[in-house]
A and B are shown apart, each in its own frame.
Chain A
Amino acid sequence: MASLEDPRTAVVISAASSWGTYRRVWRKLRRDPVTLAAAALLGTIVVVTLMAPIITGLLQTDPDQILRTPTGRIATLEPPGPGYILGTDDLGRDAFARLLHAGRVSLAIGFMVALISVLIGAPAGLLAGYYGGRVDDVINAFVQFVFNVPSLFVLIILSVVLRPDVTVLALIFGFFFWPGTARQVRGVVLSVRALDYIAAAEALGASDLRVIARHVLPNVVNIVLVVAGFDVAGAILGESALSFLGFGVQVPMASWGNMLSGSQDFLRRAPWLVYPPGIMIFLTVLSVVQLADGLRDAFDPRV
Chain B
Amino acid sequence: MPKRWLFPWLTSLSILLSACTPDARPSAQQPPSQTSGAVQILRVASLGAPPRNFHPYPEPQEYNQPLVDAWTLMGAGLIGVDYDKQDWVVDPRTDMARELPTVSNDGRTFTFILRDDIKWSDGKPIVADDFVFAFENARKEENNFIGLDDLLRIESVRTPTQRTLEVTLDQTYARFIAVGFATLGPVPKHIWEGKPWLDPQGNPEILKPTVVNGPYVLKEVNADHHAYTRNPNWWGKRPNFDEVTFLNAGPQTALELLKTRQADWTQNVPPSQYADAKVSGNVNVVEWTGATGSYRLVLFNLQRPFLSDKRVREALSRAINRQDLVQFEEGLATPQFGLYPQGNTKWLNTSVERYEFDLSRSRQLLQDAGYRLDGTTLRDASGQPVKIEIIWPTTSQPRGKIAAYLQQQWKGLGVDVVVTGLEFATFADKYSRQRDYDVAMGTYGGGSFDPDTVKEQYRTNGTQNTGGYSNPRVDQLLEQGLVEQDESRRKQIYDEIQRLVVDDLPSFQMVTLKGLTAFDRRVTGVSPGKGGDILQQNNMQILDWSLAQ
Interface residues of A (CB under 8 A from B): 64-66, 73-74, 76, 90-91, 159-160, 163, 246-247, 250-252, 262, 264-266, 268-269
Contacts and interface: CB of A to CB of B under 8 A. Distances in A.
B332 to A, nearest CB: 13
B403 A252 contact: yes
B275 A91 contact: no
Given A262-B397, A264-B252, A251 B404 contact: yes
A251 B402 CA distance: 11
A73 B275 CA distance: 18
Contacts of A76: 327-328
B405 A66 contact: yes
B394 A250 contact: yes
B11 to A, nearest CB: 25
Chain B interface size, as a band, is 20 to 34
B423 A160 contact: yes
B401 interface: yes
With most chain B CB atoms within 10 A of its CB, the pick from A160, A251, A262 is A251
Given A160-B426, A246-B423, A262-B397, A64 B405 contact: no
A245 B344 CA distance: 36
Contact of A91 (B394, B395, B401): B401
Contact of A246 (B394, B405, B407, B425): B394
A64 B423 contact: no
Interface string B505-547: 0000000000000000000000000000000000000000000
Contacts of A246: 394-395, 423
Among all A-B residue pairs, the 3 with the closest Cβ atoms: A265-B272, A250-B421, A252-B404
A100 B328 CA distance: 24
Interface of B: 251-252, 270, 272-273, 275-276, 324, 327-328, 394-395, 397, 400-401, 403-405, 407-408, 419-423, 425-426
A74 B324 contact: yes
5 contacts: A91-B328, A159-B423, A250-B420, A252-B400, A262-B397
B404 to A, nearest CB: 4
A264 B276 CA distance: 13
A247 B423 contact: yes
A267 to B, nearest CB: 9
B419 A90 contact: no
Contacts of A251: 400-401, 404, 419, 421
Contacts of B404: 64, 91, 251-252
With most chain A CB atoms within 10 A of its CB, the pick from B272, B403, B419 is B272
Given A76-B328, A90-B401, A246-B395, A266 B408 contact: no
A90 B270 CA distance: 13
With most chain B CB atoms within 10 A of its CB, the pick from A76, A265, A266 is A265
A200 B464 CA distance: 76
A101 B419 CA distance: 17
A248 to B, nearest CB: 10
Contacts of B420: 163, 250
Contacts of B252: 264
Contacts of A65: 408
Contacts of B423: 159-160, 246-247
A66 B408 CA distance: 7
Given A252-B403, A252-B404, 10 more contacts: A65-B408, A66-B408, A91-B404, A246-B394, A246-B423, A250-B394, A250-B421, A251-B401, A269-B275, A269-B276
A257 B5 CA distance: 44
Contacts of A264: 252
A126 to B, nearest CB: 38
Contact of A74 (B275, B327, B400, B422): B327
B407 to A, nearest CB: 6
A252 B418 CA distance: 9
A64 B407 contact: yes
A159 B327 CA distance: 32
A163 B418 CA distance: 14
A91 to B, nearest CB: 5
Nearest to B426: A160
Contacts of A266: 272
Contacts of B425: 160
Contacts of B422: 163
A82 B295 CA distance: 36
A89 B421 CA distance: 19
B270 A265 contact: yes
A160 B430 CA distance: 13
